Chain A
Amino acid sequence: MNKNSTKLNKAFWEDLILRRGTMIGMIAIILFLGLRAPSFFRVKNLMDVLKQSCILILVAMGQTVVLVSGGFDMSAGSLLQLTANLAAGFILAGMKTPSVLIAGIAVGLAVGLVNTFFVVMVKIPAFVATLAMMLVLSGVTTWYNKGKSITLSNEPGFFFLGQGYIGPIPVLFIITVAVMLLLHVFLKKTKTGLRMYSVGENYAAAMLHGISKKKALLISFMLGGALIGAAGVLQASYSYGASTMSTTLDFLLQALAASLLGTTFSRTEELSVIGTAISALFISSLSSALIANGVSNLLQPGLLGLILVVSVMLTVIKKREIGQVTIF
């Protein structure tokens, strides 16, 4: 019995070092870059960095919710782009902020529903079905904005969401943290959350325990869609409307990287919204810190690719250790 508990203790410490290891690495990198650019650690700049990270954090959490049930969402970035454009257009057309937010969420839910239909009912692999959805949504976006930016000005009510502050804290950050906590409780402390994880981790086991994969995926895609739909509206508020510059793939890849990197925070290599949020915050602050250090914007995609590879590598190595093979 005693021997057993020391063994467990050792495993516990090893796990802890691995978890903290990612965290320590992240802090070290940001500290190093931040100290080289003195203005980086001013409170105002830090708050800006936080604010800037929020959209990515929300999208990444949307992706995580889908991954939890064993799904995969390629359409995350283009859904964000679409609802950002729709939101900007609706505000220009005179719609009130709450209605726009509801519209964004509704579009996200609809996209999630269609994704679920193709993945669950038609049984197309999630990767392919959502890839098609990504292209369709991009097409709809271009059709809607006719290839032009939709710029907003003088919309204080709407801009408060994405640009306002309560005290020194950005409103957007408060929203993001609230969403994160709600999602965390939902996934880890409720029956539905537990069942979604079980479907994603070992479908055969879940099935034998009478758990429905369809239901788990439906909730995943709908919840993820709603989250990203709302994030698009906030994006429009944050960046004075919607630009035509395509950030679709950037958002998608960064969100995926954040989700996977986030698993290294967990003792069990599980996906978690908190791990995802911290990783997304890291990826986003890294961009800011690099820019503050005068590193060219043009290098950023390459660095992002590197982060993606490293995060996937960390996950795959750990998963292989416990005998799980991933699709990556």
Chain B
Amino acid sequence: MNAPDQKTNRPAEEEIVLNCRGIVKQFPGNLALDHVDFSVRRGEVHALVGQNGAGKSTLVKIITGVYTRDGGVIELDGTEMPLRSPTEAEEAGISIIHQDQQLVHNFDVKRNVFLGREIRKGPFLDFDTMRKQTQEVLDMIHVRFGPDDLIKTLSVGEREQVSIAAALLQKPRILILDEPTASLSLKETEQLFQIIRDLKSQGVTIIYISHHFDEIFEVSDRITVLRDGKSIQTLNVKDCNKREVIEIMIGRNVSQLYPKKEIEKGETILSVKNISLRNKLNDVSFELKKGEIIGVAGILGSGIADLANVLFGIVRPDTGEISVYGSRTDIKNPRIAKQNRLALIPEDRRTEGFVSGMTVEENMSFAFAKRYRQGPLYSRKKGAAEADRIIRLLSIKTNDCNTMIDSLSGGNQQKVVIGKWLEGDSGIFIMNQPTTGVDVGSKVEIYNAISDLVADGAGAILISQDFEELLGMCDRIIVISGGAVTKIYQYGEAEEKDLLHYATVSVKAGES
């Protein structure tokens, strides 16, 4: 195993550390990787992008020895490697930090970092040595906690740093980060990037997997694009732009990444006046018209998620009033919200949006099951007919309505969650981060679905941390920071940096 040592301080431009040539992986009925070439230079940050199903995770699993390849050659520093098991890959100096890095919350940092490869002195654990070595890797990434701190006392971002420390302990030549920022706040993401830059300067080679192009362009040197199991192109970040990469990735010209339609605005359907919620929201007011998409921009913890909860009756505000379709309504609970034609697309579709282990039809019909009665019983036939209609309407990719929802892609699952509300006569859609964790292609389809909804006379509130999609899709954008509205933009008025500015401007809580 090679420590990141002095001689690698100045990475030679053309020195290839990992070279994959002609990698083939065949699954039953599916050629997952079709002669993929992928080469990584020493000391670079190399982004790997592609839509879900393009073969990113299969390729990573082959590099980390989880899958065995059916063809092709992998060379590490010019030596051919079989990489038949995760242990072999680890010994070869390849470490991965998974998307949902799991830690034992009741253990301290050193126990977590060493879990599975504990150091022993005789029959007992050697905590002193483990503490010392943990401190060494923690020093490498400049963290604010120590080896003896319990995981449960750390923030989400710090927990991610623990995972990185655990990977660094193995002195990897190549460190793979799989969607590392999925649950991080902006500030934590910034810290992660600093760590990545530090590691890079210490000679560690990094493979970075992400759906977020802003991050990729900020932190990486080169990008390899996979599509349909093939390696399409490797680009220098300096010589390309975001749109270019997206087009290569989805393999067609995105004339309109954001399919915003020109829609005539109707009467006001939702009016929110002076909503406050202790420590969360401060005097928020806005109106939503028929045919309108309103964006709510804010960072993690700014109160944007609480706004969704208030609108759908999950949390009751302390003060303020809400009028729905012209009449003042006390939305006490989600049932009343539903009766008033409100619909919620929740933030976490996996736990709140759909029921895993049920079919597409069952998931679509339970919100309005009453409508499909035959006598006192639920009628499968009526439910299925309606489900089929919505599958066609939103062009949901599924075999039929009896397919288990779990087997659908993330974007299509989200469309089922949206479609569920179409069976009722919902007219006000509250969407809390509907495109989190879905790839670009699916995003476009979700945007299309939203556009169709409002064209049909609905109104939508799009709550998001992805400012680019707000700028692309929304007629108006309300920026929230510290629970208060800091700025309102009309379509076309703002740029991403403006939103970011007003989303991070500090507002004293409790001030009105």
Contacts and interface: CB of A to CB of B under 8 A. Distances in A.
A267 B150 CA distance: 10
Nearest to A267: B150
Contact of B115 (A185, A204, A206): A206
Interface residues of B, number: 26
B98 interface: yes
Interface stretch (B7-15, B118-126, B266-274, B453-461): B118-126
A322 B102 contact: no
Contacts of B100: 204
B107 interface: yes
A8 B149 CA distance: 9
Contact of A322 (B105, B111, B118, B124): B105
B102 A269 contact: no
A208 interface: yes
Interface string A189-213: 1110011011001101110111100
A231 to B, nearest CB: 25
A11 interface: yes
Contacts of A324: 105
A326 interface: no
A206 B104 CA distance: 8
Contacts of B115: 194-195, 198, 205-206, 209, 211
B153 interface: yes
A48 interface: no
Contacts of B107: 197-198, 201
Nearest to A193: B125
B153 A11 contact: yes
Nearest to A189: B124
B241 interface: no
B125 A208 contact: no
A191 B153 contact: no
Interface string B90-123: 0000000010111111110001100111101001
B187 interface: no
Contact of B111 (A194, A210, A211): A194
A238 B458 CA distance: 78
Contacts, number: 67
B142 interface: no
Contacts of A190: 120, 123-125
A204 B116 contact: no
B144 interface: yes
Contact of A202 (B103, B117, B150): B103
Chain A interface extent, by class: 20 to 34
Given A268-B150, A322-B152, A209 B116 contact: yes
Interface in A172-193: 185, 189-191
A198 B104 contact: yes
B155 to A, nearest CB: 12
A1 interface: yes
Contacts of A211: 115-116
Contacts of B123: 190
A197 B153 contact: no
A191 B125 contact: yes
Interface string A1-43: 1001000100100000000000000000000000000000000
Nearest to B101: A208
**Chain B CB within 10 Å — which of A197, A267, A270, A323 has the most?**
A197
Contact of A201 (B104, B125, B144): B104
A270 B124 contact: no
B211 to A, nearest CB: 22
**Chain B CB within 10 Å — which of A185, A205, A210 has the most?**
A205
A8 B102 CA distance: 24
B418 to A, nearest CB: 29
A210 B152 CA distance: 22
B104 A270 contact: no
Contact of A194 (B87, B102, B105, B125): B125
A265 to B, nearest CB: 14
Given A210-B116, A268-B150, A205 B125 contact: no
Nearest to B112: A205
A323 B101 CA distance: 17
Contacts of A268: 106, 150, 152
A198 B103 CA distance: 9
Contacts of B124: 185, 189-190
Contacts of B118: 191, 194
B106 A270 contact: yes
Interface string B311-345: 00000000000000000000000000000000000
Nearest to B113: A209
Contacts of A210: 86-87, 116
Interface in B113-148: 115-118, 120, 123-125, 144
A146 B37 CA distance: 75
Nearest to B90: A210
Contact of B106 (A4, A185, A206, A269): A269
A322 B107 CA distance: 13
Contacts of A198: 104, 107, 115
B104 A208 contact: no
Nearest to A270: B106
B166 to A, nearest CB: 9
Contacts of B153: 8, 11
B98 A189 contact: no
A267 B108 CA distance: 12
B111 A205 contact: no
Given A208-B98, A211-B115, A322-B152, A202 B104 contact: yes
Given A11-B153, A194-B111, A210-B116, A204 B102 contact: yes
Interface in B134-187: 144, 149-150, 152-153
A20 B237 CA distance: 59
B305 to A, nearest CB: 17
Contacts of A206: 104, 115-116
Contact of B105 (A1, A185, A189, A202): A202
Contacts of B104: 197-198, 201-202, 205-206
A4 B103 CA distance: 22
Nearest to B127: A189
A185 B124 CA distance: 9
Contacts of B86: 210
For the complex of A and B, list the 6 residue pairs with the smallest distance between their C-beta atoms, beginning with the closest: A209-B116, A205-B102, A268-B106, A204-B102, A209-B115, A191-B118
Given A205-B102, A206-B104, A322-B105, 8 more contacts: A191-B125, A194-B115, A201-B106, A205-B104, A209-B116, A210-B86, A210-B116, A323-B152
Interface of A: 1, 4, 8, 11, 185, 189-191, 194-195, 197-198, 201-202, 204-206, 208-211, 267-270, 322-324
16 contacts: A1-B144, A4-B144, A185-B124, A190-B120, A190-B124, A190-B125, A194-B111, A197-B104, A197-B107, A201-B104, A202-B102, A205-B112, A206-B116, A268-B150, A270-B106, A322-B105
